[in-house]
Structure 1
Amino acid sequence: MAIIDVIKFNGIQNRDWLIYRYPGDNFSTGTQLIVNEGQVAVFVKGGRALDYFSPGTYTLNTNNIPILKSFINIPFGGRTPFTAEVFFINTTAKLDILWGTTDPISLIDPKYTVRLRVRAFGQFAMKIIDYRVFLTELIGAVGDGQVVKYDIVTRYFRGVIAAKIKTIIADIIINQRISVLEITPRLEDISNEAMRRISGEFHRFGIDIINFYISSVNFPDEDFAVINRILGEKAAFDIIGDNRYNIKRSFDVMETAAGNEGGGSIASAGIGLGLGAGAGIAVGNTFAAAAGSVVNTPPKTISCNKCGTANPEGTKFCPNCGEKVSIIKIECFSCKSPVDDSAKFCPNCGSSMQKKACPNCNVESSPGVKFCPECGTKLEG
């Protein structure tokens, strides 16, 4: 095989290359080496990265390849032939490497107590800083005349990033009890923490992380719809209060009845499907009666089982003797029916109303919760 007189690599247009193995290994002292900007040339022999050259033009001699010379005993003087592999490494920073969690992080939101499937996305920038370490770790992946592109290397690191990000986000949401809806202001802090944790993995391969960003943390629309429903119900109670909420529900029932009769709204209750003005007046009177019954009905009382004292409805303990007089109602997580707080099962649907103890941290969770809100451990059904 002929001895090569000039070694150079002009690069490729899209600059996505990371390593290029020069197609030839027969050289001699006196061979010209040309290294372009954004490159470094490394001589390899026997799988070991030896001498390397920064951008410039060189005439190879025993002075500028001292490690290679001692490794293969190149004699002084003349055009001495020798064999070695030459690799060009891209030293420019790659700024637009995207990453994302392919599998969602399944956890319980600590504020809304609903299961969410959280995903995270972002980008990072990397640069090769230790050529010998980097090339030694990846030399087995380089074939004859082959260009190794960034995606071959970043494919591995995306898996590392996803694993680290999942751990960090789960720790913040579960252990620090921060809702997913309130995590956006902390993305910069999370990004910095993630960069700190993953940098060591990159340094093992001679790579430096220049920057690391989490651009978004989100979850599917159907999960968000559940939270929106909870927020809507809370807003209703905040605006109209517990007592007026009963009035609202009465009108909701009447509107549903009107919709069934005449086509959809309270207004249509009297005129839909030809019911006429008389029916409209009748339904209007019904509304007035329903509202009046809620507003004007005198408060109900509950007699104490022990001393017989009449107590207002909702009283928990008799002020005369201290006996428990009312039964506290809680909502069934499954069918939403009111259930006595002492009941073990819902009388409407049969679902268990007993709290679950986490087998990992012993924290008790409400019925129906599938994952521990404290540590994220899956709870038994």
Structure 2
Amino acid sequence: MFFRKQFANVVEWQEFRDDMIFYKWKNDEIKKGSRLIIRPGQDAIFLNNGKIEGIFRDEGEYDIESQIIPFLSTLKGIKFGFNSGMRVEVLFVSTKEFVVKWGTPNVINIPAQGFPGGMPVRANGTFTFKVSDYVTLIDQIAGVRDQYLVEDVRLRISAVLDQLLMKWITREGKDMFNLQANSFEIGRGIREDLDMEMMKSGISITGFNIISFNYPKEVQDMINKVASQGMVGDIGRYQQIAMTEGMASGKMAGGGTAADMAGMMMGMQVAGKMLEQMNQQTAQQQPARPQPVQPQPAVQTPQSGGAVRPNFCPNCGTKAGEGNFCSNCGHKLV
């Protein structure tokens, strides 16, 4: 005798995790009397031989025989057989937007003037993504995998992130010493490129944020000193202070280490570049200074007999009259 619940099972997202993008339910068969459970934030996709039969988005509990099968595209007339099962897979997909932290594990050497090996930079931030195309997701990933995690997406993006950072930092000559001011524009460009890349897997990159750019400690220390000491245009004094501090700390005793010297030279290059930029900005902002008016020499009037009488008294400066003596102090004019 066959009992209705004898072969019944529950089709649901088992082993649920917050970082799981999709999960494939693939028991041997779905039996008569089986039920489908869809929880909030989930879509259930019925697959037959890798093809989508139906997508169910509303949360709740459903009887598969009466409430699901009638809506499946090619399985409406399925030979369900009350004592036999239906071989079909159910793919549960998370509909939420995932937030992922990212960071450059190693420095990125960005091409920069004055740095033959490039300016070493690190960066960190977050990006967000969600599943947008079920057909592509199944064709590219879910067809061969039973589950897909956020870490899988993060690793894939990390593989191309260094190149994208370099592309958008150097695009249109970004200021290497003030990258944070351009972080929004850089992040927007990276998001567009990543979205084009991940679209091939049915995933959309909905946001990409850069929290901070970080320079090596030696470079950052030099930048901070230049900013705080305000030595605009005085790179010679800056170098003297840097050398003095190095000797006082003992780092340069006996020649110091190669790393110390390399760090100091890098910092000096940074300082020189910053001061050059600051001087250029200052010159552009300051108005041209008026040239001083040079005093005109006094015009002297020749007198009869070859004597020259000055127009102003050489003793007190009073304007000379017609006479031969100053009307103010009596000094002889001729």
CA distance in 1, matches of 2:159, 2:53: 31
CA distance in 2, matches of 1:160, 1:202: 11
Query: Of the two, which has the highest radius of gyration?
Result: 2
1:214 aligned residue? 210
1:132 alignment partner, one of 113, 132, 135: 135
SS in 1 for 2:151: helix
SS in 2 for 1:102: coil
CA shift for structure 1 position 191:
1.3
Match runs of 1:220-299 below 5 Å: 220-225=216-221, 235=231, 237-238=233-234
CA shift for structure 1 position 6:
2.4
CA distance in 1, matches of 2:80, 2:143: 32
1:371 aligned residue? none
The answer to whether structure 1 residue 165 and structure 2 residue 165 are counterparts is: yes
Match runs of 1:91-240 below 5 Å: 91-95=95-99, 97-110=100-113, 115-139=118-142, 141-143=144-146, 147-172=147-172, 176=173, 178-225=174-221, 235=231, 237-238=233-234
| CA pair 114-227 structure 1, distance change in 2 beyond 3 A | farther
CA distance in 2, matches of 1:59, 1:135: 25
CA shift for structure 1 position 44:
2.1
Give TM-score scaled by structure 1 length.
0.52
Match runs of 1:296-307 below 5 Å: none
2:88 aligned residue? 84
The answer to whether structure 1 residue 15 and structure 2 residue 22 are counterparts is: no
CA contact (8 A) 1:127 1:208 kept: yes
CA distance in 1, matches of 2:218, 2:149: 38
1:64 alignment partner, one of 67, 71, 88: 71
| CA pair 3-26 structure 1, distance change in 2 beyond 3 A | farther
Identity of aligned residues (%): 23
CA shift for structure 1 position 81:
2.8
SS in 2 for 1:193: helix
Q: Deviations along 1:194-231, whole A, 9 cap, x unmatched? A: 21222111222221222210111222112335556777
CA contact (8 A) 1:30 1:79 kept: no
**Unaligned 5+ runs, structure 1:** 250-254, 260-335, 337-381
CA contact (8 A) 2:80 2:86 kept: no
| Root-mean-square deviation over aligned CA pairs | 3.8
The AA in structure 2 aligned to 1:84 is: V
SS in 2 for 1:37: coil
CA shift for structure 1 position 48:
2.8
SS in 1 for 2:201: coil
CA distance in 2, matches of 1:49, 1:78: 24
The AA in structure 2 aligned to 1:158 is: S
Total equivalences in the alignment: 235
CA shift for structure 1 position 107:
3.4
CA distance in 2, matches of 1:114, 1:74: 67
CA contact (8 A) 1:4 1:26 kept: no
CA distance in 2, matches of 1:204, 1:105: 27
CA contact (8 A) 2:188 2:208 kept: yes
SS in 2 for 1:204: helix
The AA in structure 1 aligned to 2:210 is: I
| CA pair 74-39 structure 1, distance change in 2 beyond 3 A | same
Q: Deviations along 1:301-330, whole A, 9 cap, x unmatched? A: xxxxxxxxxxxxxxxxxxxxxxxxxxxxxx
CA distance in 1, matches of 2:96, 2:87: 28
181-190 or 44-53, which deviates more = 44-53
CA distance in 2, matches of 1:229, 1:109: 21
Q: Deviations along 1:83-103, whole A, 9 cap, x unmatched? A: 0111211111112x0122334
| CA pair 85-25 structure 1, distance change in 2 beyond 3 A | farther
CA shift for structure 1 position 35:
0.7
Give TM-score scaled by structure 2 length.
0.59
CA distance in 1, matches of 2:156, 2:118: 30
1:5 aligned residue? 9
CA distance in 2, matches of 1:114, 1:19: 43
CA distance in 2, matches of 1:21, 1:57: 18
| CA pair 203-237 structure 1, distance change in 2 beyond 3 A | closer
The AA in structure 2 aligned to 1:211 is: G
CA contact (8 A) 1:74 1:80 kept: no
1:265 aligned residue? none
CA shift for structure 1 position 40:
1.0
CA shift for structure 1 position 130:
1.7
CA distance in 2, matches of 1:112, 1:78: 76
The AA in structure 1 aligned to 2:86 is: F
SS in 2 for 1:223: helix
